[in-house]
Amino acid sequence: MIAVTAEYDPYDWYWLADDGRLFSSKTSTMIQPDDPDYLAWLESHVATPWPRDDDGEQTLAELQRVLVPFLIWVDLKAYAFEVRAQKEVGSMQVNGIAGLTEIRTDPATQTLLDRYHSVAATNKEFTVKWVNPDRSTVTLDATAIDSLYNQLATFIASTYDMYDQAVSGVDDGSITDTGQIDAIFGVTLERSRKVDIGWKT
Q: What is the DSSP string of 175-200?
A: --SHHHHHHHHTS---SS-----S--
Q: Which of 197, 149, 152, 188 is nearest to 71 (CA)?
A: 188
**Residues of the domain holding 29:** 14-74
Structural domain count, the chain: 2
Same domain assignment for residues 48 and 99: no
DSSP conformation class of 13: -
pLDDT by position in tens, the chain (length 201) = 445 555 899 999 999 999 999 999 999 999 999 999 999 999 999 999 999 999 999 999 999 999 999 989 999 999 999 999 999 999 999 999 999 999 999 999 999 999 999 999 999 999 999 999 899 999 999 999 999 999 999 999 999 999 999 999 999 999 999 999 999 999 998 866 666 767 676
Same domain assignment for residues 120 and 181: yes
Tell me, yes or no, whether 105 lies in a domain: yes
Categorise residue 99: left if φ over 0, alpha if ψ from -120 to 50, beta otherwise: left
Same domain assignment for residues 65 and 100: no
Tell me, yes or no, whether 80 lies in a domain: no
Tell me, yes or no, whether 123 lies in a domain: yes
The length of the chain, given as a count of residues: 201
pTM, two decimals, is 0.84
Same domain assignment for residues 62 and 137: no
Give the end of a domain, one of 45, 74, 103.
74
Same domain assignment for residues 100 and 26: no
Same domain assignment for residues 47 and 117: no
